[in-house]
Amino acid sequence: MSNAKRRQPYGFWPSIISARRMAQRARLEDVQFGGNGLVWLENRGKQGQLVYQPGGSARRDLLFEHSARGGVGYGGGEFTASGDSLYFVQQGRQIMRYDFETAAVRAVTPAWGAFSAPAPSPDGRWLAFVHEDGDRAALGLVESNGGWPILLDSRADFYMQPAWSPDGNALAWVEWENPNMPWDATRVVMARLAGEVPQVAEKVMIAGGHEEAAFAQPCFSPDGRRLAYLAAQGEWDDLIVLDLSSGEKRLVYAAQGFHLSTPAWVQGQRTLAWLPDGRRLLVIRNRAGLAELCEVEVESGAVRVIPTAPYTWLRQLSVHPLSGEIALLASSPRLAERVLRWDGSRWQEIACTDAWLLPETWFAEPQAIECNLPDGGRVYGWFYPPQNPQVQGEGLPPLIVHVHGGPTSAVVLDFPREAAYFTSRGYAWLEVNHRGSSGYGRTYQQALNGHWGEADVVDTVSLARFLAQQGRVDEQRMAVMGGSAGGYTVLNCLVRYPGVFKAGIALYPVADLIALARETHRFERYYTDRLIAPFPQAAALYRKRSPLFQASQIRDALAIFQGEEDKAVPPAQNQALVERLRGLGVPHLFRLYPGEGHGFRAPETIEDFYQQTERFLQDYVLFS
């Protein structure tokens, strides 16, 4: 019997990764120990479903009339498991309590503003949380059985990661002010609480207070004697431990060549945790898209890597407070994300997104790629060649260049669903980690400051041309795709380098920087002050770098996909851009999805997006 592949034109390969499968994906968001087992969060379209697996028993869904969604900023911090109870944020607007034994659900707070990061006190009586209402942010407190929230602190512009001391007499958190983002400059603060109804009796800044140093994830040791936190104050990251009695700060681990966290786009990120003996810490370190789990001895600073192969990306670290067992989310370019549990000797797979249990032969092996830039710098990326176990093409494949959002974000070696959809159809796929991306050191991450709309564009075009010059892709059949900030790069590629790409595909892209500075949500209100220049002083520069006002330079086909309820990039920007494209006679497609925001959740929306995109690529790239 022959195993020879049949030949078929690139872009038309039959694939088992359908648009419907893409729409049915369930994304794992978090995992924690709770009850007598594990609890994890699955985003199933618009439903944030909490799933519970007691030890030795079958898993079960916990929510039927509720949906766990963090409501502050871009979300995150949806739930916290504690003893026999589980606290979750209902649709971003209200904290609820779930009882593992009775399965009863009751409200803890009124539905008011936006909530995130519920943190129960050690005795279970109180619940701290992050709250926003309009332009006001606060740390609040409420009785865990329900009641009216109490204000703890509201002097900062933003709050994140509240953590209790083991005796319940202190609370630590991260805070920062505009115009900073949480990876620019933050503070770790600790407050001593006092009173029958706890109030802040004393507040001390543990770390921060100056520019160009960001601090994250404060956590108390199990005996309450020390506070550990992460610091991004040099090229790479540091793990610092504070002795609360003596006030001595010790640099326990200087992670030269590694980051110990990722940019805090959402609440509730966890890459650091104490082990129960209080003598060791666990931390997830990362570099250039690869992650490792490390155990760090506090006294000696000795670092031991805990093997996690074949997984290449790890996140949401959780440690059982008594047994020291570890749980986290793990994935690789050929293994869909799953919940793993470590008992000290082996990893056990607890859960996976079943729709993606596919043969590994359908997934391309990524190849690291980098090239020199015109100014002497370098740009990095990951290249996925076409991959299909049943067919092969002839000649050079068409290329889709994908630009991540943020732009202070990165493409990492996790499970590439979107890449697989296209590589299994015969497209090559290139992920660009342009200047400004995380994972390559602080200098590289800050290299986009003042140059957004320029450096990211040069990097994207340079890396695509480099692949073509190497003879790995067809230079006459290249497209560029991206969402949000990545969509902004897509638009500017078409403006500044017409003809390099036959088509652009932009999801909720930034088209008008002036409108963005005026209208975007509060989390990113001053983000462009660093990426471009302070507004409104630099309004002329904002206009110059806005694709909307340079639309007359666009010649290549452009598809724009937009959510009707987008608060980060209001749809008016792209509606105005589409009107200009129509007047200029530029081939274009515009889809405005009701009920969708900055990112698509509804299965019917996602299915339509992939169907429309595939047809658009065929029309303007394959048949160009």
Cα 32–Cα 38–Cα 43 angle in degrees, nearest 5: 70
In the predicted structure, residue 541 carries a pLDDT above the cut 80: yes
At residue 375 the predicted structure's pLDDT band, cuts being 50, 70 and 90, is confident
In the predicted structure, residue 87 carries a pLDDT above the cut 60: yes
At residue 354 the predicted structure's pLDDT band, cuts being 50, 70 and 90, is low
Long-range contacts of 197-205 (CB under 8 A, 24+ apart): 197/150, 198/126, 198/141, 198/150, 198/152, 199/150, 199/152, 200/152, 200/153, 203/153
- Residues 6 or more apart from 58 whose CB is under 8 A from it? none
At residue 357 the predicted structure's pLDDT band, cuts being 50, 70 and 90, is confident
Residue ranges per domain, the chain? 358-622
- For 172-187, the three-class secondary structure string (H helix, E strand, C coil) is EEEEECCCCCCCCCCE
Please state whether the peptide bond connecting residue 407 to the residue before it is cis, i.e. omega within 30 degrees of 0: yes
In the predicted structure, residue 111 carries a pLDDT above the cut 60: yes
The CB density around residue 597, as the number of other CB atoms within 10 Å, is 15
In the predicted structure, residue 113 carries a pLDDT above the cut 60: yes
- Residues 6 or more apart from 443 whose CB is under 8 A from it? 235
Predicted pLDDT of residue 402: 98
Predicted pLDDT of residue 205: 96
Predicted pLDDT of residue 90: 96
- Residues 6 or more apart from 361 whose CB is under 8 A from it? 387, 389
More confident residue, 119 or 520: 119
- The 8-class DSSP code of residue 597 comes to B
Q: How far apart are CA 292 and CA 257, in angstroms?
A: 13
| pLDDT (tens digit per residue) in 230-266 | 999 999 999 999 999 999 999 999 999 999 999 999 9
> Do residues 130 and 78 touch, judged by C-beta distance below 8 A?
no
Distances 62 to 86, 101, 413 between C-alpha atoms, Å = 10, 12, 31
Cα 594–Cα 595–Cα 596 angle in degrees, nearest 5: 95
Predicted pLDDT of residue 1: 42
Q: How far apart are CA 439 and CA 552, in angstroms?
A: 36
| pLDDT (tens digit per residue) in 434-487 | 999 999 999 999 999 999 999 999 999 999 999 999 999 999 999 999 999 999
Comparing CA positions, the residue from 438, 447, 453, 531 lying closest to residue 488 is: 453
Distances 597 to 102, 430, 433, 526, 564 between C-alpha atoms, Å = 35, 26, 25, 20, 6
In the predicted structure, residue 288 carries a pLDDT above the cut 80: yes
Amino acid found at 471: G
In the predicted structure, residue 370 carries a pLDDT above the cut 50: yes
> Do residues 187 and 209 touch, judged by C-beta distance below 8 A?
yes
> Do residues 93 and 114 touch, judged by C-beta distance below 8 A?
yes
In the predicted structure, residue 158 carries a pLDDT above the cut 60: yes
Predicted pLDDT of residue 3: 66
In the predicted structure, residue 356 carries a pLDDT above the cut 90: no
Give the pTM: 0.96
| pLDDT (tens digit per residue) in 545-591 | 999 999 999 999 999 999 999 988 999 999 999 999 999 999 999 99
Q: How far apart are CA 170 and CA 164, in angstroms?
A: 6
Predicted pLDDT of residue 24: 83
Q: Is 240 exposed, middle or buried (0-12, 13-18, 19+ CB in 10 A)?
A: buried
Q: How far apart are CA 130 and CA 159, in angstroms?
A: 6
Lowest mean pLDDT among 53-67, 186-200, 279-293: 53-67
Q: How far apart are CA 137 and CA 124, in angstroms?
A: 24
Q: How far apart are CA 224 and CA 165, in angstroms?
A: 6
Distances 519 to 99, 204, 570 between C-alpha atoms, Å = 41, 35, 8
At residue 11 the predicted structure's pLDDT band, cuts being 50, 70 and 90, is very high
In the predicted structure, residue 209 carries a pLDDT above the cut 90: no
Measure the N-to-C terminal CA separation of the chain; round to a whole number of Å.
Answer: 39
Predicted pLDDT of residue 437: 98
> Do residues 50 and 88 touch, judged by C-beta distance below 8 A?
yes
Q: Is 433 exposed, middle or buried (0-12, 13-18, 19+ CB in 10 A)?
A: buried
Query: What tokens does 478 get?
Result: 């290249």
358-622: CATH homologous superfamily? Alpha/Beta hydrolase fold, catalytic domain (3.40.50.1820)
| pLDDT (tens digit per residue) in 166-195 | 999 999 999 999 999 999 999 999 999 999
> Do residues 182 and 175 touch, judged by C-beta distance below 8 A?
no
